[in-house]
Chains A and B, each alone.
Chain A
Amino acid sequence: MAVALTWPPPPTRFGLLRRVSDRLYRTPRLLLALLLVPPLLWFGVFYLGSLFTLLANAFFQIDEYSGRVVRELTLKNFAALAEPANLDVALRTVTMAALVTLASVGLGFPVAHYMARHTSGATKALCYIAVMLPLWSSYLVRVYAWKLLLAKEGAVSWLAAQLHLGWLLDALLALPVVGGNSLSFSPLGTFVVFVYLWLPFMILPIQAAIERIPSSLLEASGDLGAAPHETFRSVILPLAWPGVAAGSILTFSLTLGDYIVPQVIGDSTLFIGQVVSLQQGVAGNIPFAAAFSLVPIVVVGAYLWFVKRQGAFDAL
């Protein structure tokens, strides 16, 4: 480990600075408190303060004539959540999040397994960058790319036509519920884009989990007569499971709260994020938006509790 040395060493100092630093060194609690005050103040005031205001607002309601928030405690917003239309939105969003998560596992697991077990050196670094770049690069640009891809005259339709599979695309779009006018205006399109956006979040934790499996375990399994698929099922899969669970928290939670993808690529059916955004913006009903935004928090909380028992937090 390289340490920059300056020579001659800085002179020993006396005076105020020295006394302050000695005092801090002797009382680590004081130093700890001084270090923690600025970040805690920031998070306490801006973040927790905001979260509590949001929570409080969920129990207020809006005056129908003046449109102003009335600060009297009421459970009306939560009663409104139970209306069929709103339950429908919540259910649709949770279903989408679950399907996106499943598809991400299906697509991501082979990539993660391949990266962890079958690459080394430069190839491994290349694969790692290949997964990390899309993860960090612009979310909107990636959504936009799919608008180009899925448009009626876009690349996917062109490819389907070239492969003489246009009939298959038309059949998919003709399906009830998931189909639509074109891929970029259908729930099917929304689903594909979600999978694309969150896939790297699934690959990285699985890859980390598989990477941690000692290869001696796999060799032992083989020596004991297990065929590769048996080793995979009874050694790799159980040990990779916490990684899958960790990735699924991200894909699930990100899908649940997104309101831009269904707005840009999808038909007019609403998702939780869109309802929250519309209630807040167009309708100006912040109390109801606040109550509705508690739905993803509760669902994610329940999911976290479920996943925690699978040991996912060690793999994050």
Chain B
Amino acid sequence: MRSEAKRAPLGLSIAAWGGLAFLHVPLALIVLYAFSAEDKSYVFPPPALTTEWFAVAFERDDVWRAIGLSLRVAAWATATALVLGTLAAAALARTRFFGRDAITLLLVLPIALPGIVTGIALRTGFNSFEIPFSFWTIVIGHATFCVVVVYNNAVARLRRMSPSLVEASMDLGADGFQTLRHVIAPQLGSALLAGGLLAFALSFDEVIVTTFTAGQQTTLPIWMLQELIRPRQRPVTNVVAVIIIALTFLPILAAYALTRRDEPTR
């Protein structure tokens, strides 16, 4: 079906590469600013380059605490999403029953509805049942919208898997648990890893829902948001921004490499 790529008209090429450049120039600029010697304004081009701000940022306790908290939240949210997403995928991959579409919609809803709706809904819910805001309320919020990412990856892989493999395993005398362990799990593994990585990246970066479900906790995105609204030490913010870019690019690229054979995720 797919033909060899043809040469594009010049105008189209320019528009396309221009669009892609538009997506990447701002990120490149952030990296440049992390080395800027100017600490009072966002002046461009930077008057001089320095690496001293990396050292300053590494001395900052609040930055480390925020990174630590975000990593712990993301780990718990990812673990929960992995369990729930895999179960849902196993249930829905090859079955047809009344209400199936409603369940799929329910899984997608937390990321389909504007984040502020999910956020304020959870906040109202926690308030009404007098659950105090804590580390765990953040995790609950994150896990809820991470499930769909794991689900999408797992369901795509399960649908590509031939059902005859499971039948063959049963014919050879394996019981359901043995089939799960020796036949299904090895095939599902990389899809779950990819889904988990994306869920981790999603949780690590989430701010809109988090502002509603956090109490006094400062996750890294909340720290970043505070700096955006009331800048305190701009160079440190620049350095943290670069660290965040590095921390999120790695899981995304890894997830891409793991699922390249499947359909594009999302």
Contacts and interface: CB of A to CB of B under 8 A. Distances in A.
Interface of A: 1, 3-4, 6, 9-10, 12-13, 17-18, 20-22, 24-25, 28, 32, 35-36, 38-40, 42-43, 46-51, 53-54, 57, 107-108, 110-111, 113-115, 117-120, 123-125, 127-134, 136-149, 151, 153-155, 157-158, 196, 199-200, 203-204, 208, 211, 214-215, 228, 253-254, 256-260, 263-264, 273, 276-277, 280, 286, 289-290, 293, 296-297, 300
A113 B16 contact: yes
Contact of B116 (A24, A128, A203, A259): A259
A47 B112 contact: no
Contacts of B264: 128, 132, 204, 208
Given A10-B182, A138-B244, A199-B23, A132 B121 contact: no
A134 B27 contact: yes
Pick from B42, B140, B174, B221 the residue with the most CB of A within 10 Å: B42
Contact of A140 (B90, B110, B205): B205
Nearest to B202: A136
Interface in B127-148: 127-128, 140, 143-144, 147
22 contacts: A9-B173, A12-B173, A25-B170, A47-B109, A47-B121, A110-B12, A117-B8, A125-B260, A127-B20, A132-B256, A137-B249, A138-B221, A141-B241, A146-B26, A153-B41, A154-B43, A199-B23, A211-B2, A273-B114, A276-B120, A293-B116, A300-B114
Interface string B50-78: 00000000000000000000000000000
B44 A158 contact: yes
B155 interface: no
B252 A289 contact: no
Nearest to B265: A132
Given A1-B162, A153-B44, A297-B117, 7 more contacts: A1-B187, A3-B165, A12-B175, A114-B16, A140-B224, A148-B42, A204-B264
A268 B132 CA distance: 33
A249 to B, nearest CB: 8
A137 to B, nearest CB: 5
Given A3-B186, A53-B121, A257-B113, A39 B41 contact: no
A260 B114 contact: no
Given A43-B144, A139-B207, A153-B42, A18 B248 contact: no
A137 B256 contact: no
B30 interface: yes
B27 A50 contact: no
Interface string B17-35: 0011011101101100100
Contacts of B45: 155, 158
Given A32-B95, A47-B144, A53 B128 contact: yes
B140 A149 contact: no
A277 B187 CA distance: 44
B198 interface: yes
Contacts of A200: 23
A295 to B, nearest CB: 10
A40 B7 CA distance: 50
B44 A276 contact: no
